[in-house]
Amino acid sequence: MPSDLEGAMETLIMVFHRYAGTEGNSATLSRKELKQLMEMELSSFLKSQKDPAAIDKIMKDLDTNGDGEVNFEEFVSLVVGLSIACEQIYQKQKQTAGQKKP
Ligand SMILES: [Ca+2]
Ligand SMILES: [Ca+2]
């Protein structure tokens, strides 16, 4: 049985390759594959982005080596960035909950 963290890492790898294998290079996400991944796996985050060009912006930000595709390393930086943002919200909620003492 993998631990929670080991399971999370495995999930990250599986999700990436599920979408990366749809077209073209099976080791990288094209713009279309990234869009599909975001719509299916990060829909609540994508909904908070009201900009219709959000995918293009995200793609440009992620594609640090400039080859027009998102590899696993570049994808992980998105997950890390989102995780940091979520953790900050979690901390805030924890603080607010703590202040609700009678
Ligand atoms: Ca691909
Ligand atoms: Ca790239």
How many CA atoms lie less than 13 Å away from 38 in the CB half-sphere?
A: 22
Distance 41 CA to ligand 1 centre (A): 16
Tokens representing 85?
């943002």
Protein residues within 5 Å, CB atom, of ion ligand 2: 63, 65, 67
Q: How would residue 101 be classed by pLDDT, with cut points 50, 70 and 90?
A: low
Question: How many separate domains does the chain show?
Answer: 1
pLDDT at 7 over 80: yes
Whole-structure pTM value: 0.86
Q: CATH number of the domain at 20, please.
A: 1.10.238.10
Question: How does pLDDT run across 39-87, given as a tens digit for each residue?
Answer: 999 998 888 887 878 899 999 999 999 999 999 999 999 999 999 999 9
Taking the CA of 72 as reference, the closest ligand is 2
d(CA 33, CA 20): 6
| CA 78 – ligand 2 centroid, Å | 12
Q: Provide the residue range defining the domain that includes 53.
A: 4-100
For residue 52, what are its two tokens? 């219709």
Q: Give 62 Cα–ligand 2 centroid separation in angstroms.
A: 7
Report how far ligand 1's centroid is from the alpha carbon of 50 (Å): 26
**Contact in structure between 67 and 58 (CB atoms under 8 Å):** no
Q: CB atoms < 10 A from the CB of 47, how many?
A: 9
